Structure 1
Amino acid sequence: MNAPILTQDPQPKTAAQAKTGASTLWQAALGKAFTKLDPRQLQRAPVMLVVELTAIVTTVLCFMPNPAVSTGLAVQIALWLWFTLLFANFAEALAEGRGKARADSLKAGSQGLKARRQTQPGVYESVAASELRRGDIVRVEAGEQIPGDGEVIEGIAAVNEAAITGESAPVIRESGGDRSAVTGNTNLVSDWLLVKITANPGESTLDRMIALVEGARRQKTPNEIALDMLLIGLTLVFLVVVATLQPFARYAGGDLPLVYLVALLVTLIPTTIGGLLSAIGIAGMDRLVRLNVIAKSGRAVEAAGDVHVLLLDKTGTITFGNRRCSALIAAPGIAEQDLTEAALLSSLGDDTAEGKSIVEYIRNLGPVQAPERSAVKVIAFSAETRLSGADHGSQRYRKGAVDAVLDYLKMNRSDMPAALARTVDKIAQSGGTPLLVASDARLLGAIHLKDVVKPGIRERFAELRAMGIRTVMVTGDNPLTAAAIAAEAGVDDVIAEATPEKKLQRIRSEQAEGKMVAMCGDGANDAPALAQADVGLAMNDGTQAAREAANLVDLDSDPTKLLDVVQVGKELLVTRGALTTFSVANDVAKYFAILPALFIGVYPQLGVLNLMQLHSPQSAILSAIVFNALIIVALIPLALRGVRVQATDAASLLRRNLLIYGLGGLLAPFVGIKLIDMLLVAVGLV
């Protein structure tokens, strides 16, 4: 295979470019805020549809003179109602627009793409990539783009996936095994591949990514639907409340202008969360896309936020996957310097990850008195002999598996020095892999290879534990090795000698107890468990079976991403809950803040409850409308960024959110409306 061609990383944006991009994004969102005034688009947000209807009614009332309400006040109320609607639309448009630039670049990469489709073995025809269907076979050669998602059925090549993942380093794809899946619009940088297409137009990874970042086909999740029903219920309740206020006023000999009642309805219904609900959902999906994770449904993201148990593969997730050198142990009577020199020379020809780790480990120890490499004949590692080595003068250095080195020396295990034999057994019992180093007919010592736990992973598991999430390590290792690594990593439980049946059984048993389970995998043997789990994260470079069974696909093929997905899911749920709490508390506060001032002329006894001492009923209703619009603007950054989830249990998190967003929602209207009232009076608008 030819050497992969590395591309340069894209240059970072300058401050001026970033500022220009942000300005363009805001301008586009502002324009889209007006187009979203179409009632057909607002059908998805019932609360905001009510706001639009009240804005229309108020606008009409501006042209119907009423002695009790000045035209200027009616116009101000109508304008602020329209502003409320526009601000909510702007939040949604801004959330959608954050990914539009990326979507446009992805679309541009797929336009005009051609494919070489096989009509019969060895015979191909040129067709547009958009004409490919599931089951078609295409041939892709070096320098060409892969025309669609598929599975390699023949060949081995390096693929640059920067167009999808942003990572410019090519990856190897080959037929068979767990690294056979390829993604459309990625570039082949060497050799050739025969690819079987696995997605019809509109179903590919690229199509799903574009849909996600644009928010174009985002379906409402069950939680959003339930929240919409709650908001509709609250809107109906306040509609009844407002409708009954006029009869009470007339019974007392007074009258409430229709403009006031319409405006009051808007201030009391949950417009804050109604206006930001869609933006919260789109922003959550956008954060997921920024992680290079594609969700097949919003339900999967929400489920990630409710996960109780995480099943994590040991290899590549908890550990680096490649065993690394952790120690050199000299045999009795052998100087450490002699062992170090022999281990270094015998590893020069070992291009495996383990061999490279030995060289790196020795070089980190400090300068080594070793002969020049030009004077050494390197013996490359052979999978057949399981040995690597070097010849220097009359010395023959060899390094490899215990049995392989003993066979090379024509020795039995019983011939090993007792202390060295104990060292080898101790390494094996700890879950490591022992290698022997020999020079001519002498055993110089052992090398301890171990599957190294990733730095910081223990702390991440501690954070998950604080959130009430249990971690379960899944490994094919024997129970002794698995227990040693589990203890070092700090996981809560372990499944050793794991089989597909064991994984499936564990997931089902957890779900039977009412728990939400997440797991990640990349092989065909992971497909049943991925399909059974509430959240299944498949690796993009894994098998097609795994990708189809999962409801999330990680384009970077990084198993640790599952921890980030859980974090995004929790942020989405907590943000939605926090802003809902704030909005409902706002409505309750506005109810008690406005009504006393509004009815003080009809029921003078309510003056006792007019704690805010608003200037007049006119200033009270206008101040509430202005506050109602501006609070949406103030909360847009929080809706897009999301509420940060701290490592704490659910009860503590609930108390924190109730204190911040519940109490804050109660107090904010009293402070905000009073300040706006004072400002309106000062500038003479009421």
Structure 2
Amino acid sequence: MNKTESLFQGDMVQQALKQSFVKLNPKIMFRNPVMFTVEIGTFVMLVVCLWILAGETSQGSFGYNFIIFLILLLTLLFANFAEAIAEARGKAQANSLRKTREETPARLANGKIVSSSELKKGDVFICEAGDIIPTDGEIIEGLATIDESAITGESAPVIREAGGDRSSVTGGTKVLSDRITVEVTAQPGESFLDKMIALVEGASRQKTPNEIALTILLAGFTLVFMIVTVTLKPFAEYANTTITISAFIALFVCLIPTTIGDLLSAIGIAGMDRALRAKVITKSGKAVETAGDIDVLLLDKTGTITIGNRKATEFHAVNGVDKQHLIQLATLSSIADETPEGKSIVELAGIDPNSFKPENPRYIKFTAQTRSSGIEFRNTSIKKGAYDAIKNIVENAGRKLPEELDEIVRGISSNGGTPLVVIENNEARGVIELQDIIKTGISERFDRLRKMGVKTVMVTGDNPLTAKYIAEKAGVDDFIAEAKPEDKM
């Protein structure tokens, strides 16, 4: 679905050619007044040709009239073909999506292979490197790099793993590495692919306001030129000049805006198809037309402007604490932290967590409520977490965070980072700096949008200082900070 396809594929051309003749039905042609009058002229020319074959001599030669008939017929077929080829591409997209959904095999936890269309909510399947994920689900075990370009259009692979807020996977995406166990979360017919197919198939051909206005204008021109052509008959009789039927029809077709009428329907459908190839679903031509009037673009920060996962970039010790000791504390406090940020801390530390042998440890997992994680063993308690969460823990123990730490936290925040404070037995030991990684080339894309007259606004749940730094670094025109998920909708 994500590969570039030629406009004139063999099967599409055959289907479009067939539809070109089907669309000659007057009930279908009547929707386009310009081409409907051309069809009437074509039928009249056919009658004239048959009349000449029957012995009529006043309408000129059969060859001349037959050429006029063929030109008019080809004009009609070309208009129908342009519309049919655009419709065929949209149907091909839907068929491609449907084929992906129906033919993707799924290996259940018991080893049985079934079709993705047979999966039900609650089923558990396994995917390994190279597999296409058969349907939407939640990773319950493992970690994998996944190519989501078929769905999102983003070429950079993403990491999905059990636990945390990045454990969901979408049907139709591809596993690039490792192995994951996934629980199906969508009922049959309710997956992302099913919804996209419904949108594509539901993209009915509804005329836009501008298209309706242009159709009325063209109909008006057609009526005017029809009157002009008809009035030539009495003038010709007055001048004792013979004008053949083919001359009247040829003059009429040349006067009316035939070319615009030819392509009017195809333009709207082609716009919807072009948006679809850019991974944008439009349900009508009106939506495409509205897209041309967009002057403000709201963008979510995570996954759109930044790669998505914040990564640990530096350890900052305070109160004369040895940096190596801080790194050890940060590693210990991250053993039970299954979030991408926690894993990046262990990666930056470069210490194998299994090298520590604490006695009877009690691991404190990271949760959205506590916003901290850690470990307790013997008489030692090590925790790390968000600044305000750790501050509450320290103050509840009757202690205070040092001013040096507050300055480091403010410095990290002003540079667009996220500070995580590390404490040992309720005493501050240092700060871990997390940074959002801005996508390569995003600033240049915003420059192109700016030249097109489109203003970009970043929407994020970060604090204003972090949001301002990211916005300036990415080249966004404006930002909205501290936005909750429901606010983004």
Please, what TM-score do these two structures have when normalized by structure 2?
0.69
Following superposition, the deviation at residue 310 of structure 1 comes to: 2.5
Q: Is the 8 A contact 1:387 1:404 kept in 2?
A: no
CA distance in 2, matches of 1:404, 1:170: 28
| Residue number in structure 2 paired with 1:140 | 121
| Contact 2:124–2:183 under 8 Å retained in 1 | no
Q: CA deviation at 1:314?
A: 3.6
- 1:577-656 equivalence runs, <5 A: none
Q: Distance in 1 between matches of 2:384 and 2:34?
A: 73
**Does the aligned pair in 2 maintain the 1:347–1:355 contact within 8 Å?**
yes
Deviates more, 1:266-275 or 1:487-496: 487-496
User: Of 390, 402, 407, which residue of structure 2 is paired with 1:404?
Assistant: 390
Look up the SS of the partner of 1:434 in the other structure.
strand
Match of 1:279 in 2: 266
Q: Are 1:290 and 2:277 counterparts?
A: yes
Superposition deviation, residue 205 in structure 1: 5.7
Change (3 A) 1:491 1:337: same
Query: Which residues of 2 match residues 44-123 of structure 1 at below 5 A?
Result: 44-62=31-49, 63-64=51-52, 65-66=56-57, 69-104=60-95
Superimposed CA distance per residue, residues 88-110 of structure 1 (whole angstroms, 9 cap, x where no aligned partner): 11111111112334444666899
Which residue of structure 2 lines up, in the alignment, with residue 469 of structure 1? 454
Distance 1:82 1:143, change over 3 A: farther
Q: How far off its partner does 1:81 sit?
A: 1.0
The structure whose RCO (Cα within 8 Å, separation 6+) is larger is 1
Q: Please state how far the C-alpha of 1:72 moved relative to its aligned partner.
A: 0.8
Deviation at 1:274, TM superposition (A): 1.3
Richer in helix (by share): 1
What is the deviation of 1:395?
A: 11
Q: Pick from 359, 373, 386: which aligns with 2:372?
A: 386
One-letter identity of the residue aligned with 2:477: D
Question: Could you list the runs of 5+ residues in structure 2 that have no partner in the other structure?
Answer: 103-116, 126-135, 141-145, 172-180
> How far is 1:442 from its partner?
8.3
CA–CA distance in structure 2, aligned partners of residues 277 and 462 of structure 1: 33
* Secondary structure of 1:256's aligned partner: coil
Post-superposition offset of 1:344: 5.2
Q: Secondary structure at the match of 1:98?
A: helix
When residues 389 and 256 of structure 1 are mapped into structure 2, their CA distance, relative to the original with a 3 A threshold, is farther
Give SS of 2:440's match: coil
Letter in 1 for 2:420: L
Matching of residues 306-321 of structure 1 within 5 Å: 306-321=293-308
Q: Cα gap change, 1:271/1:335 in structure 2, threshold over 3 Å: closer, same or farther?
A: farther
Deviation at 1:236, TM superposition (A): 2.2
Query: Displacement of 1:78 after TM fit?
Result: 0.7
Residue of structure 2 equivalent to 1:375: 355
Aligned residue identity for 2:467: A
Say whether 1:33 aligns with 2:16.
no
CA positional deviation for 1:41: 1.1
- The separation in 2 between residues aligned to 1:69 and 1:348, in whole angstroms, is 94
Change (3 A) 1:21 1:170: farther
Q: Is the 8 Å Cα contact of residues 157 and 193 (structure 1) preserved in structure 2? A: no
Matched pairs, number: 430
Aligned residue in 2 for 1:447: 432
Mapped pair 1:237 → 2:237: no
Name the SS of the counterpart of 1:351 in structure 2: coil
CA distance in structure 1 between the aligned counterparts of 2:78 and 2:422, rounded to whole angstroms = 71
1:47–1:312: structure 2 CA closer, same or farther, 3 Å change rule? same
CA shift in 2, pair 1:309/1:386, >3 Å: same
Instruction: Give, in whole Å, the separation in 2 of the partners of 1:142 and 1:471.
Output: 42
Q: What does residue 342 of structure 2 align with?
A: 355
- Percent of aligned positions that are identical: 43
Q: Deviations over 1:27-80 (max 9, x none)?
A: 121111111111111122221111111111112222334457321111111111
Distance 1:78 1:430, change over 3 A: same
User: Distance between the aligned counterparts of 1:225 and 1:309, measured in 2?
Assistant: 27
- Provide structure 1 residue ranges, at least 5 long, that are not aligned to the other structure: 1-9, 112-128, 130-138, 145-151, 184-188, 500-522, 528-686
- Partner Cα distance (1:210, 1:430) in 2: 47
1:321 Cα offset (Å): 4.9
Query: Partner residue of 2:443?
Result: 458
Call closer, same or farther: CA 1:205–1:78 in 2, change over 3 Å.
same
Q: 1:204 to 1:486 in 2, by over 3 A?
A: closer
CA contact (8 A) 1:322 1:451 kept: yes
- Distance change (3 Å), C-alpha of 1:240 and 1:170: farther
Partner SS, residue 485 of structure 1: helix
Residues 168-195 of structure 1, C-alpha deviations (whole Å, 9 max, x = no match): 9999999xx9999x99xxxxx8557697
Which range moves more in the overlay, 478-487 or 297-306?
478-487
d(CA) in 1 for partners of 2:160, 2:275: 23
Give yes or no for contact 1:346–1:398 (8 Å, CA) kept in 2: yes
Equivalent residue of 1:44, what SS? Answer: coil
Shift of 1:434: 1.4
Q: What is the CA distance between 1:425 and its match in structure 2?
A: 2.7
Q: What is the CA-CA distance between 1:408 and the residue it aligns to? A: 11
Distance in 2 separating the partners of 1:456 and 1:359:
29
Distance 1:250 1:178 in 2: 82
Q: Is 2:471 the counterpart of 1:486?
A: yes
Q: Which moved more, 1:423-432 or 1:341-350?
A: 341-350
Q: Per the alignment, do residues 171 and 71 of structure 1 end up closer, same or farther by CA in structure 2, a change over 3 Å counting?
A: farther
**Is this contact kept in 2: 1:106–1:210, CA < 8 A?**
no
Instruction: Tell me what 2:111 maps to.
Output: none
CA distance in 1, matches of 2:413, 2:423: 19
Q: What CA deviation, in whole Å up to 9, does each residue of 1:439-498 have, x standing for no partner?
A: 799866422223444433332222222122222333444444433333233333333445
Matched letter for residue 382 of structure 1 = K
Contact 2:269 2:285 in 1 (8 A): no
Residues 143/350 of structure 1: CA separation in 2 closer, same or farther (3 Å cut): closer
Q: How does 1:507-546 map to 2 (within 5 A)?
A: none
Distance 1:226 1:36 in 2: 23
Residues 269/389 of structure 1: CA separation in 2 closer, same or farther (3 Å cut): farther
- CA offset at residue 357 of structure 1? 3.1
After superposition, the Cα gap between the structure-2 partners of 1:207 and 1:438, relative to the gap in structure 1 and judged at 3 Å, is: closer
Q: Write the deviation string for residues 14-35 of structure 1: whole angstroms up to 9, x where unpaired.
A: xxxx899921221121111111
8 Å contact from structure 1 (residues 476, 496) kept in 2 = yes
2:400 to 385, 409, 413: 413
Deviation readout 1:597-635 (Å, 9 max, x if unpaired): xxxxxxxxxxxxxxxxxxxxxxxxxxxxxxxxxxxxxxx
Offset from partner CA, 1:147-171 (integer Å, 9 cap, x none): xxxxx9xx9788x9x9x95999999
Q: What displacement does 1:142 show?
A: 0.9
Q: Specify whether residues 291 and 411 from structure 1 end up closer, same or farther in structure 2 by C-alpha distance, changes over 3 A only.
A: farther
**Contact 1:322/1:354, CA 8 A, preserved across alignment:** yes
> Whole-Å Cα distance in 2 between the matches of residues 208 and 11 of structure 1?
17
The question of whether the paired residues in 1 share the 8 Å contact of 2:332 and 2:374 is answered with no
Comparing 373-382 and 479-488, the one that deviates more? 373-382
Q: State how far apart, in whole Å, the 2-side matches of 1:407 and 1:294 are.
A: 50
TM normalised by structure 1 equals 0.51
**Take 2:287 and 2:303, find their aligned partners in 1: how far apart are those partners?**
23
Shift in alpha-carbon separation, 1:322–1:12, aligned structure 2, 3 A? closer
Name the CA distance, whole Å, in 2 between partners of 1:26 and 1:432. Answer: 54
Give me the whole-angstrom Cα distance separating, in 2, the residues matched to 1:300 and 1:12: 24
Once residues 44 and 179 of structure 1 are traced to their aligned partners in structure 2, the CA distance between those partners, rounded to angstroms, is 50
